[in-house]
Amino acid sequence: MNAPVHHQTLVTPEKPKALAAGQFKVTARDVDVFYGDKHAIRKLSIDIPDRAVSAFIGPSGCGKSTFLRCINRMNDTIPTCRVTGDIKVDKNDIYDPKIDVVQLRAKVGMVFQKPNPFPKSIYENVAYGPRIHGLAASKTELDEIVEKSLRKAGLWEEVKDRLQHPGTGLSGGQQQRLCIARAIAVNPEVILMDEPCSALDPIATARIEELIDELRQNYCIVIVTHSMQQAARVSQLTAFFHLGTLVEYGDTDEMFTAPQEKRTQDYITGRFG
Ligand SMILES: Nc1ncnc2c1ncn2[C@@H]1O[C@H](COP(=O)(O)OP(=O)(O)OP(=O)(O)O)[C@@H](O)[C@H]1O
């Protein structure tokens, strides 16, 4: 990309109130991440507010996904990966050995690059989490959770008459909304999205972006994206990563018009990356 980003904003440009009040949902201090000898994240500190969308941008391999996965301990599943430093969600240390990782991943849900519904029915995809977390006392309550989650994910009208059909039979964009419904069903507070639109066509992408904008009213959302246009459209805050460091994090509008750092300026104007 050689020209500055064309700035389209879907969302109201007001600053998140949480920023002004200093209320942060996720805080990280001096986080380092290693894969064996490879130092992937260096001394990263960040305060992420609630009820806003934060976008992580930066060139390939700069550590965006690695840091995103730290926020719900998804990196625990990679044997060579070691995380040091301090990460808190709601002031609770998520690397405390006493933390129940299954509960943490319900509270800090994740949506992946490629939609990955379970090979089960649409209903079961959404009902599975609430059932294992004991969130429904009866079948009626479970039905209500499934409907509410599918509604919040903007999928209910399209699937209400075929809840017993396989989730894998939906279109890519519908599958991604099903995965969002699945994450929502267990009452998360933070939703991590790792390039959630990269496998989708522009229409399905627009639908997911609208959904992200609606969801920010109730959740802390962090999205990794390769698209600066997408970051500009959906986020209120943007974090620019480079070579495993967080170069700057702040108001999306300011980041794309008057970045603080030369490296950010060079990246958003297409001089590297
Ligand atoms: N499982 C892994 N094992 C070893 N090294 C890894 C692993 N995952 C990532 N890395 C390395 O860590 C660094 C950061 O990778 P990461 O995927 O976090 O970057 P990214 O900014 O999300 O990249 P992209 O935009 O290409 O997805 C890279 O050098 C990458 O090769």
**273 residues of the chain, pLDDT tens digit each:** 444 444 444 444 455 554 555 579 999 999 999 999 999 999 999 999 999 999 999 999 999 999 999 999 999 999 999 999 999 999 899 999 999 999 999 999 999 999 999 999 999 999 999 999 999 999 999 999 999 999 999 999 999 999 999 999 999 999 999 999 999 999 999 999 999 999 889 998 999 999 999 999 999 999 999 999 999 999 999 999 999 999 999 999 999 999 999 999 999 998 876
- ipTM for the whole predicted complex goes beyond 0.85: yes
Full DSSP string of the chain: --SPPP----S--PPPHHHHHT-EEEEEEEEEEEETTEEEEEEEEEEEESSSEEEEE-STTSSHHHHHHHTTTGGGGSTTEEEEEEEEETTEETT-TTS-HHHHHHHEEEE-SS----SSBHHHHHHHHHHHTT--SSHHHHHHHHHHHHHHTT-HHHHTT-TTSBGGGS-HHHHHHHHHHHHHTT--SEEEEESTTTTS-HHHHHHHHHHHHHHTTTSEEEEE-S-HHHHHHH-SEEEEEETTEEEEEEEHHHHHHS-SSHHHHHHHTTS--
Q: Give the residue whose CA is nearest to atom 2 of ligand 1.
A: 35
Q: How far is the CA of 38 from the centre of ligand 1 (A)?
A: 10
Nearest ligand 1 atom, CA 63: 18
Could you give the domains of the chain?
Answer: 17-24+49-67+105-239+249-268 (3.40.50.300)
Q: Is 82 in the pocket of ligand 1 (CB under 6 A)?
A: no
> Which class for 97: exposed (0-12), middle (13-18), buried (19 or more C-beta within 10 A)?
exposed
Q: How far is the CA of 112 from the centre of ligand 1 (A)?
A: 15
- Select from 229, 226, 212 the least CA-distant residue to 61: 226
Q: Is 61 in the pocket of ligand 1 (CB under 6 A)?
A: yes
**pLDDT confidence of residue 19:** 57
**pLDDT confidence of residue 271:** 84
Nearest ligand 1 atom, CA 62: 21
**pLDDT confidence of residue 161:** 98
**pLDDT confidence of residue 4:** 42
Q: Give the residue whose CA is nearest to atom 29 of ligand 1.
A: 61
